[in-house]
């Protein structure tokens, strides 16, 4: 998420803005509605995958275990 904030307000809320950047937010500091600076996190917060989040995204064919025709010459 990106937050736009005026430079005068940024001076008063500097610590809060640094903490927001540490949580992964990008802060754009403006002066007279023009962007002049940006505070971004040094690293993106690592998101952990949710268990089961890929459930149902792939299926395995019923013929998966059948021998391939190309290998019939090598089969006993």
Q: What does the pLDDT look like over 34-68, one tens digit per residue?
A: 999 999 888 766 788 889 888 989 898 888 888 88
pLDDT at 3 over 90: no
Q: What is the CATH number of domain 1-5+8-41?
A: 3.40.1620
Phi, psi of 36 (to 5 degrees): -125, -20
Residue 1's Cβ-side half-sphere holds a number of Cα atoms within 13 Å equal to: 6
CA torsion, ordered 59, 63, 66, 67, to nearest 10 deg: -90
* pTM of structure: 0.53
pLDDT at site 1 = 75
């Amino acid at each position: 998420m990106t937050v736009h904030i005026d430079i005068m307000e940024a001076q008063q809320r500097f610590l809060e803005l640094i903490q927001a950047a540490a949580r992964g937010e990008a802060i754009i500091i403006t002066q007279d509605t023009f962007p002049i600076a940006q505070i971004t996190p040094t690293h993106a917060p690592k998101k952990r995958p949710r268990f089961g989040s890929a459930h149902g995204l792939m299926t395995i064919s019923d013929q998966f275990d059948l021998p391939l025709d190309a290998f019939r010459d090598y089969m006993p």
